[in-house]
Structure 1
């Protein structure tokens, strides 16, 4: 055997070992990914089975706690009614989400560049946030009427404060070295904002948006409790007064699924647009 062939054997063996190690690593990653997806589903399935068994074993009356099978039957039988009431709630939540977060981003930007404004108005924002949602709702209904406007306003208010706090911190949490480098490069204030401060604030912003995705739906539903003829909140009130527990639970399931879907879309957008920050985002 030639000397070149002798030297080639360890190299070929190293490449083979690397390929096998990479294959094992990829297989482990796939396993962990599916494990992460399946374990919650298995846990939910076990809880539903326990719930079903408890209702049947102890003879719990349907108006107290319906079996999951009864809730599933209502979801199937009244799917059209549930979707019809989901539409206004979804519109209120989405518009409130956009309005509240847009206002929070603009005000956070003003706070960062004008410290006096923050010192004057941040305590006001804190005071407004401390007022319970159920106390804000009647006031907004009196001010804005009984249409969609007060529900949108409630959803916006409930989204506003977390985004304001996170965005302000993200815009301000820039190291002096980074700012000095931008000054050395003769960057304009606009470039400093968009290429440094805003990029630095995006992880903070998406963290707040994920919270707002859930709370916006809660705000819209609470607003509908005060006064509405349609929507998830109105349907919950109607089902409660009629002691229709299967419909009540089915309505809650629809609202929760919509909220979880909204949260998932924001999480997808975070991973899509913050690939450079994947380790920190996870």
Structure 2
């Protein structure tokens, strides 16, 4: 008579998928140990320094105070993170999309490049903190000026990199496409865009962090919600732990967008050498 296998023993056996996930997690932590240890060391020095020198909390809160601010103001931080994330994401999409379309236009029309490129440079030269009040006066305190400001910060680096990337296509490949009587659209999709992708993703990584900064700067000008508004409110009310916690959330938001761009880059540019990524 055969014996039944205990259910508990079967359930306790880890699957290959779970084992693989644990291995990848351990490998990731092992690879990142220098930055993890450095970060923990800096936090320890910060905590000890604030404690030993008895620095007032309103001047420089300790890491423990900041953790306490996260616990006490978790919902406030979350409510103000969502608007900033929306503004930064839409600004990132709109600013980069306009830059890519203009770059394609410039490559196919040197006259357009000579006519419009200097204007783009002039707009970039204007401090964004000076542009923000103008856009608020024109569009009000709604979502539109914040998206435009975040998009403006993303726009110029992507435009410059994309133009350079589209022009970096191999002359031999361009000559071959002409011999094969390829249309301009075929040259664009099969030669110029693949050559421009490394330049594009380099610009998108810059834009990934810049769009969050643009959204926060826009929120400083007359907004009552978002991380930028929370930074202003915490500063004027001397709530330093909440101020530092808000800054940490903003940085984590920028890192999250940067990581998403890097993830897409690894999936799209498979021919790029690992050492250059």
TM (norm. structure 1) is 0.87
SS at 1:146 equivalent: coil
Once residues 223 and 92 of structure 1 are traced to their aligned partners in structure 2, the CA distance between those partners, rounded to angstroms, is 9
1:260 equivalent to 2:255? Answer yes
Rg larger in 1 or in 2? 1
1:182 equivalent to 2:181? Answer no
SS at 2:271 equivalent: helix
Once residues 270 and 162 of structure 1 are traced to their aligned partners in structure 2, the CA distance between those partners, rounded to angstroms, is 17
1:155 aligns to what?
150
Once residues 280 and 102 of structure 1 are traced to their aligned partners in structure 2, the CA distance between those partners, rounded to angstroms, is 28
Q: CA deviation at 1:133?
A: 1.1
CA contact (8 A) 1:133 1:154 kept: yes
Equivalent of 1:217 in 212, 215, 229: 212
Once residues 268 and 128 of structure 1 are traced to their aligned partners in structure 2, the CA distance between those partners, rounded to angstroms, is 31
Map Cα deviations across residues 195-250 of structure 1 (whole Å, 9 max, x no partner).
Answer: 10011111100000000000000000000001111000000000000000000000
2:103 aligns to what?
108
Change (3 A) 1:254 1:122: same
CA contact (8 A) 1:151 1:220 kept: yes
1:198 aligns to what?
193
2:114 aligns to what?
119
Q: Which structure dedicates a bigger proportion of its chain to helix?
A: 1
1:68 equivalent to 2:63? Answer yes
Once residues 148 and 95 of structure 1 are traced to their aligned partners in structure 2, the CA distance between those partners, rounded to angstroms, is 10
Equivalent of 2:231 in 236, 239, 249: 236
Runs of at least 5 residues in structure 2 that lack an aligned partner in the other structure: 1-24
Q: CA deviation at 1:35?
A: 4.9
Once residues 231 and 276 of structure 1 are traced to their aligned partners in structure 2, the CA distance between those partners, rounded to angstroms, is 40
CA contact (8 A) 1:63 1:243 kept: yes
Map Cα deviations across residues 144-194 of structure 1 (whole Å, 9 max, x no partner).
Answer: 111111110000000000000000011111122111111223322211110
Q: CA deviation at 1:37?
A: 1.1
Once residues 181 and 90 of structure 1 are traced to their aligned partners in structure 2, the CA distance between those partners, rounded to angstroms, is 45
Q: CA deviation at 1:32?
A: 9.2
SS at 1:140 equivalent: helix
Q: CA deviation at 1:113?
A: 0.6
CA contact (8 A) 1:104 1:164 kept: yes
Equivalent of 1:145 in 136, 140, 159: 140
Change (3 A) 1:32 1:184: farther
Aligned residues: 253
Q: CA deviation at 1:275?
A: 1.2
1:128 aligns to what?
123
Q: CA deviation at 1:279?
A: 3.6
CA contact (8 A) 1:271 1:281 kept: no
CA contact (8 A) 1:222 1:233 kept: yes
1:207 aligns to what?
202
Runs of at least 5 residues in structure 1 that lack an aligned partner in the other structure: 1-29
